Amino acid sequence: MTPDKTKMANDPSKTALNLQNVIAGYGDTQVLNDISFSVAEGERLAVIGRNGVGKSTLLNTLMGLTDLHSGSIEMFGEEIQNLPSHKRAINGLGLVPQTRDIFPSLSVEENLMSGERQGHKIEEAYALFPRLKERRKNGGSQLSGGEQQMLSIARTLMGGPKLLMLDEPLEGLAPVICDMLMDVFEQLASDGKHTIVLVEQHAELALEFSDRMLILDTGAIVFHGDTSEVRQNPSILERHVGLGVT
């Protein structure tokens, strides 16, 4: 998978996501500390950092699954911080959680139908993931880990998200499955319909895929810039994540 880096933001003047001074966490526990950044429409943003620094909490906060203590969140020019999660989804926000969260007792097809919204068809999901079509009558519990991840992604796509958030989608998967999923993400990012925020531990894959990179440390942003800057200055990753760039 080799992304075409000429296909970056569709229109940098249009903002898909804008956070200002966001402080959030769980109950009284503060995890995110004064987070401010924006993502252009059509952009690919990678979010990386060590374990436990707030990456998943950031995505959960965008989805309305944490306690927002202060700050504002805009998506495509509209404030969403006071909206419940299902209305954020209706407005075009989709999250593929790290936990996958498929329904194990439902078939593949029933799982997909549970996420359907805005006229998106199951055949579109099957076109991206032919293996799911082959197993459409199988229960979620009968799928391999890679197939469950495909199903989690496909079900989220059935909701028609314009802004797609992926929380460590490659975790624990075989390299061949990782390559296949990255090809799907590349296809989605290149179709002109999706802005993608990717949380990923594989720094090299994140660099290869994304236009810009955000690094978190203890709930705060310690770097936000072009991925080309990270490649030219490997000490950025070495300093903040303990990784180098090959």
- SS3 for 136-184, per residue? CCCEHHHCCHHHHHHHHHHHHHCCCCCEEEEECCCCCCCHHHHHHHHHH
| pLDDT < 50: residue spans in the chain | 1-10, 12
Q: In this structure, are 17 and 87 located in the same domain?
A: yes
Q: In this structure, are 168 and 209 located in the same domain?
A: yes
pLDDT of residue 202: 86
pLDDT of residue 233: 92
Q: In this structure, are 37 and 143 located in the same domain?
A: no
pLDDT of residue 30: 97
Domain-ending residue, one of 160, 178, 198:
160
Domain-ending residue, one of 160, 188, 209:
160
Dig out the tokens for 105 from the structure: 């007792």
Q: In this structure, are 178 and 216 located in the same domain?
A: yes
Domain-ending residue, one of 136, 160, 184:
160
pLDDT of residue 203: 86
Q: What is the value of pTM for the model shown?
A: 0.90
Q: In this structure, are 27 and 144 located in the same domain?
A: no
CATH at residue 213:
3.40.50.300
Q: In this structure, are 81 and 53 located in the same domain?
A: yes
pLDDT of residue 114: 87
Q: In this structure, are 134 and 184 located in the same domain?
A: no
What is the number of domains present in the chain? Answer: 2
Domain presence at residue 203: yes
Domain presence at residue 4: no
Q: In this structure, are 66 and 170 located in the same domain?
A: yes
Domain presence at residue 76: yes
pLDDT of residue 228: 93
Q: In this structure, are 230 and 167 located in the same domain?
A: yes
pLDDT of residue 176: 95
Q: In this structure, are 110 and 138 located in the same domain?
A: yes
Q: In this structure, are 71 and 180 located in the same domain?
A: yes
Q: Which domain holds residue 144?
A: 100-160
